[in-house]
Structure 1
Amino acid sequence: MEKRWIRKPAPDAVKVRHLADALRVNETIISLLCQRNVCDFEEARAYFRPVLSELPDPLRMRDMDRAVDRLQHALHEGERVLVYGDYDVDGTTSVAVVYSYLLRFFGPERIDYYIPDRYKEGYGISVAGIDYAAEQGYALIIALDCGVKAVEMIAYANERNVDFIICDHHLPGSTLPQAVAVLDPKRADCEYPFKELSGCGVGFKLMQAFSQHLGLDDAPLYELLDLVVVSIAADIVPITGENRTLAYHGLRLLNDPARPQRPGLDALRDLAGLHSELNISSLVFGFSPRINAAGRMGDAKRSVAMLLAQTKEEAFDKASVVDKTNQERRGFDTSITKEALQMIEDDLLLRNASTTVLYKETWHKGVVGIVASRCLDKYYRPTIILTESNGKATGSARSVVGFDVHEAISECADLLDQYGGHMYAAGLTLPVENVPAFREKFERIVAGRIRPEQLIPPVEIDSLLRLNEITDSFYKLLRQMEPFGPGNANPVFESECVYASPDSARIVGNSHLKLTLTQDGHHTVDAIGFGLAEYHERIAKGLPFNVCYTIEINEYRGVKSLQLRVKDIRWEE
């Protein structure tokens, strides 16, 4: 697929030199910092060494004082508390954080957790969950990663004398639920300075406020940051501001050889074969699918039980079940993706559309989000995959860079029963008979708004780099900029007029390109381009080209070496 190269503007040279002199750091690295709006010494200090003591005061979040008071009341009055979370990674890690922290105060007799069944109850707060709480004598529910739009459900809970504290990070609707407290930094009336916390992050802030209210040391709470960083990685929230601080320290916990690791995460690490240092990417691809699989394919409580396991044996037993569920999920994912892509290929209108909206009643509900992502990778455009559940069409949406799919879906609200989500990912439910009308209206809205260039996948290039600048010391400086993720992406470099060393270019694994690059016949560096085998023939002819890439470490048979991960190749006309 053709890609759109976007070269970021170079930052102010005077600022770069000034900061480079102050920090005594390579100017290329300083340019990368300035592009990330880190332009003075104090900002650089906070960027390279995020400090937990400088996290924003949790009481700045709207309703936090009410939430802490209600939790304190439950503690002193002997009430029972139910920790209620969504069935995805963010929800299950949220539950693990809040439940494990409050367990020391309430004890196992007065606190438990609840994850709704994806198929019987659907997303968010359910009648079944409220009824369970009322019948089991729970006076308070702490809802995590859901609830900000649950106006009717909270009204029903109030009728049943069950109070709610909502900890959410999704966009609120026009009316907030009548809960005791609604914690959501995206509330229009919330002055909390950082708006992009994960759902688990909001739950963590509640625990932080509760801990401070009790006059306790934050150290035991910070031990839970290994779970918080998993949520940050999985939910693809920006790795900036407070998220970057939480992620930085969460990864330090996960990679600390002197610290006893959480048994559940340690078991996941073994099953995923992640034996080197963990980063955001390894959490996204190694941990997230396995934790998610339990909710997609069966009971998400399995994931929570794994995360809360106290022994290696218990953790490995539960993680093995989760891993097996993930293997089952992969089978559905592969077959449904193949079928969905074939549906597009076989339909001329679909092939030429600005959107993809597919529906088939037999598709597994648990993988439609993954299938939407796969279809977006192939036909880069806003994508919605729907299946049948409880007599309704329900599914997931994914979007391209810069296009708000949630907003486009909201303009089709007259055809929907419910919807919610973010700019780039959303969920929706509608009557089956409305699917054709929805497909037509959604296509019309998107086609009228999306710019042609938004339908070409972008590659954002941070800086030009010569191959002889790629050294071990340069790579060590790059590593200081981690953790990488949305908002703090792994820098992408461009090198001009490079060649493949003679006979080095070869195809591996059917579709990948392996080669050794050289520039001016001097410095050489190994490179791999996944899915770029189509370029092999032209490269093998010895023609010069421009290449854009990230820099990584490749480990083969115990030997580590620098390697370029090629994102795209271009021949200058």
Structure 2
Amino acid sequence: MIAQPPPPQKRWISKTFPSSAEQWSAIESLTQSLNVSPFLAALLVQRGIHTFDEARSFFRPEIGHLHDPFAMKDMDRAVKRLQRAMRTEQPEKILVYGDYDVDGTTSVAMVYGFLKNYHTAIDYYIPDRYKEGYGISQQGIQWAAENGFTLIIALDCGIKSIDRVAEAKALGVDFIICDHHRPGLDIPDAAAVLDPKRDDCAYPYKELSGCGVGFKLLHAFCLRQQIDLGELYPYLDLVAVSIASDIVPLTGENRVLAYFGLKYINSSPRTGLKALIKIAGFSRELDITNVVFGLGPRINAAGRIQHAKAAVQLLLAESEEEADAFAMAINKHNNSRREFDSTITEQALSMIRQNETMLTAKTTVLYDANWHKGVIGIVASRCIEHFHRPTIILTQSHDKAAGSARSVPGFDVYEAIEECADLLEQFGGHTFAAGMTMPVDNIDAFRQKFEEVVSRKIKEEHLTPLIDIDLPIDFSEINDKLFRILRQMGPFGPHNMQPVFMTEDVYLVSDPVIMKEKHLKISVRQGRTGHTLTGVGFGFGHMADQLRYGKTFSICYQVEQNVYNGNVSLQLMLKDIRC
């Protein structure tokens, strides 16, 4: 039996406390102008908010804060090509084509759902994850040409599909590409290529989701056609779902889009989302976290288990009866996905634990021909929870090895994969997530080269789970006003995470409680006359024996609101404990 290494201690990384004269001046100014405590003002300055106007824009996003869509490279060309396809005299057949994940399916539902109000010769196409693979497929192009489509709007894919776009052009099919992935050295020869990550694109915000880029196309179309933007804004609920599920930064324009999208989700969700919310069991107002863990996986499950077209059908459903039926079917797919996820994760972890080389490696690269392709990305994330390092899970697909990569904070897995491109047939993705295909015979060589590349590039600190702590705080600062203002700092997500605080020298005021054999509930106090607060730590049950009366310890946590039997109170959601 190979000895298992102990779980690594998490690194507590405290963000820089405002210290310059300019920052202290901003804290003083915000304290007075916003009527908040210096602590809250420091938290805002720490996030780059220095003036009253910046704070107003942050706390009260406005739809007018959205950028001019025509600032995006090729937007004018895209709108003109779309207008030409929609002309009354010689209308063309338009195909809305999108990837099979949440970003792709919400994009398709949005663009198709909006444009069909102005053009009847329109349809949509989602590639089969297992038969066609990621991105623009030959089968999809062939289907479009055979059925008389002369314009394809590609969403959340296409930026690297140089050969496919050329093949389509030879068949008389034009492309408008709406993508947000990194381009390669060359840009496809399409009618228009919308991607804020293009080197030659001056668009001021680079981190839109694929659905966000599609929204900007519709935004520009409405401006050019003089369509009331009030007709477009209800589709922001789909943009918010894409932003949450694709884990893009919740800053700048994304924050505005998500802010208003969540408002639509919570006040007047489209019929399909309403059915999904109901079957997910949500009874309170949804936030980004609810979307990420409650709605996103269910939408994704359609394409992971069968075909993602069902997700688009759900999102386009008009009657409650139709929406409930699609939601129920998708929920069943999600239950199947969970079973696959759990089984394959255990198999993957076992493979690592039984191999001494894998236990000490800087990477994880695993392959099993029988693993379900639809969950390998999830399994990669699960493995990182146990072995904190860049991870690639591979399975067999069409006689090739298809894989999903996930990374750890601070390490660019896409760049590492790019250095192994000679062993790959296709790859694409982001800093923290990527996909690839390779010949099965190349797996061992790829595993060796990927390990070498990552070992050379990665820092030891990247291999240890970290907790970013915003500020130290005394319990005396934690009150209802603090919580109200913290809540207004949302929607939370990458680059605008929910604040994490740290408090030292706390102690127990009663015995720890173990919930469901693995979760911890504690009542703690700071100082002899201070407030007593309840802390809950999911998965922290093993810490109970280390906590003793009279012994002080440190905690880091988020401040949450607990509602139980009609009683509302503040509680601490524990992120870590140091005895």
TM-score normalised to structure 2 length = 0.96
Q: Measure the CA separation in 2 of the matches of 1:216 and 1:241.
A: 25
Aligned match of 1:488: 496
Aligned match of 1:351: 359
Aligned match of 1:230: 241
Query: Amino acid of the residue matched to residue 102 of structure 2?
Result: V
Between 538-547 and 398-407, the greater mean CA deviation after superposition: 538-547
Aligned match of 1:427: 435
5 Å-filtered alignment, 1:330-369, equals: 330-369=338-377
Query: Amino acid of the residue matched to residue 86 of structure 1?
Result: D
Between 554-563 and 395-404, the greater mean CA deviation after superposition: 554-563
Query: Amino acid of the residue matched to residue 168 of structure 2?
Result: A
Q: Measure the CA separation in 2 of the matches of 1:118 and 1:555.
A: 41
Aligned match of 1:532: 540
Q: Measure the CA separation in 2 of the matches of 1:520 and 1:23.
A: 30
Structure 2: where are the runs of 5+ without partners?
1-6
Give the paired residue count. Answer: 565
2:558 to 519, 541, 550: 550
Asked whether the 8 Å contact 2:509–2:549 carries over to 1, the reply is: no
Q: Measure the CA separation in 2 of the matches of 1:448 and 1:21.
A: 50
Instruction: Compute the RMSD of aligned alpha carbons.
Output: 0.9
Q: Is residue 95 of structure 1 aligned with residue 102 of structure 2? A: no
SS at match of 2:118: helix
* Aligned-residue offset at 1:538: 1.4
Q: Measure the CA separation in 1 of the matches of 2:411 and 2:241.
A: 26
Between 530-539 and 205-214, the greater mean CA deviation after superposition: 530-539
2:11 to 4, 10, 13: 4
SS at match of 1:105: coil
Query: Amino acid of the residue matched to residue 243 of structure 2?
Result: I
5 Å-filtered alignment, 1:44-83, equals: 44-76=55-87, 77-83=90-96
Aligned match of 1:27: 38
Query: Amino acid of the residue matched to residue 148 of structure 1?
Result: I
Aligned match of 1:517: 524
Aligned match of 2:129: 118
Between 39-48 and 482-491, the greater mean CA deviation after superposition: 39-48
Query: Amino acid of the residue matched to residue 465 of structure 2?
Result: P
Q: Is residue 84 of structure 1 aligned with residue 97 of structure 2? A: yes
* Aligned-residue offset at 1:541: 4.4
Q: Is residue 412 of structure 1 aligned with residue 416 of structure 2? A: no
5 Å-filtered alignment, 1:283-322, equals: 283-322=291-330
Asked whether the 8 Å contact 2:96–2:125 carries over to 1, the reply is: yes
Query: Amino acid of the residue matched to residue 175 of structure 1?
Result: D
CA-to-aligned-CA distance 1:157-183 (integer Å, 9 cap, x gap): 011101100000000000111110000
Cα distance change on mapping 1:163 and 1:483 into 2, 3 Å: same
Q: Is residue 388 of structure 1 aligned with residue 399 of structure 2? A: no
Q: Measure the CA separation in 2 of the matches of 1:351 and 1:265.
A: 43
Aligned match of 1:194: 205
Q: Measure the CA separation in 1 of the matches of 2:550 and 2:307.
A: 55
TM-score normalised to structure 1 length = 0.97
1:163 to 145, 165, 174: 174
* Aligned-residue offset at 1:480: 1.1
Q: Measure the CA separation in 2 of the matches of 1:255 and 1:516.
A: 33
Q: Is residue 569 of structure 1 aligned with residue 577 of structure 2? A: yes
Percent of aligned positions with the same letter in both sequences? 55
CA-to-aligned-CA distance 1:299-355 (integer Å, 9 cap, x gap): 100000000000111101001000000001111000000000000000000000000
Between 461-470 and 412-421, the greater mean CA deviation after superposition: 461-470
Q: Measure the CA separation in 1 of the matches of 2:365 and 2:549.
A: 42
* Aligned-residue offset at 1:277: 0.9
Query: Amino acid of the residue matched to residue 162 of structure 1?
Result: V
SS at match of 2:405: strand
Q: Measure the CA separation in 2 of the matches of 1:20 and 1:82.
A: 54
Query: Amino acid of the residue matched to residue 198 of structure 1?
Result: S
* Aligned-residue offset at 1:519: 1.0
CA-to-aligned-CA distance 1:201-255 (integer Å, 9 cap, x gap): 0000000000000012111111111110000000000000000000011111122
Query: Amino acid of the residue matched to residue 81 of structure 1?
Result: I
Q: Measure the CA separation in 2 of the matches of 1:16 and 1:183.
A: 40
Asked whether the 8 Å contact 2:72–2:201 carries over to 1, the reply is: yes
Q: Measure the CA separation in 1 of the matches of 2:154 and 2:293.
A: 27
SS at match of 1:106: coil
SS at match of 1:565: strand
* Aligned-residue offset at 1:127: 0.6
Structure 1: where are the runs of 5+ without partners?
none
* Aligned-residue offset at 1:431: 0.5
* Aligned-residue offset at 1:25: 1.7
CA-to-aligned-CA distance 1:111-140 (integer Å, 9 cap, x gap): 111000000000000011001111111110
Aligned match of 1:185: 196
Q: Measure the CA separation in 1 of the matches of 2:65 and 2:556.
A: 37
SS at match of 2:202: coil
Query: Amino acid of the residue matched to residue 235 of structure 2?
Result: L
Q: Is residue 445 of structure 1 aligned with residue 453 of structure 2? A: yes
CA-to-aligned-CA distance 1:396-449 (integer Å, 9 cap, x gap): 000011100000000000100010000000001100000000000000111111
* Aligned-residue offset at 1:184: 0.1
Q: Measure the CA separation in 1 of the matches of 2:497 and 2:300.
A: 24
SS at match of 2:291: helix
Q: Is residue 560 of structure 1 aligned with residue 568 of structure 2? A: yes
1:502 to 505, 510, 528: 510
CA-to-aligned-CA distance 1:465-495 (integer Å, 9 cap, x gap): 1112211121011111011110100000001
Q: Measure the CA separation in 1 of the matches of 2:510 and 2:286.
A: 35
Between 315-324 and 506-515, the greater mean CA deviation after superposition: 506-515
Aligned match of 1:105: 118
SS at match of 2:394: strand
Q: Is residue 146 of structure 1 aligned with residue 154 of structure 2? A: no
Aligned match of 2:3: none
* Aligned-residue offset at 1:542: 3.9
Aligned match of 2:332: 324
Q: Measure the CA separation in 1 of the matches of 2:556 and 2:509.
A: 17
* Aligned-residue offset at 1:14: 2.2
Q: Measure the CA separation in 2 of the matches of 1:252 and 1:324.
A: 28
Query: Amino acid of the residue matched to residue 344 of structure 2?
Result: I
Q: Measure the CA separation in 2 of the matches of 1:557 and 1:409.
A: 51
SS at match of 2:551: coil
CA-to-aligned-CA distance 1:59-83 (integer Å, 9 cap, x gap): 0100000000000001103111110
Aligned match of 2:257: 246
Q: Measure the CA separation in 2 of the matches of 1:394 and 1:349.
A: 23
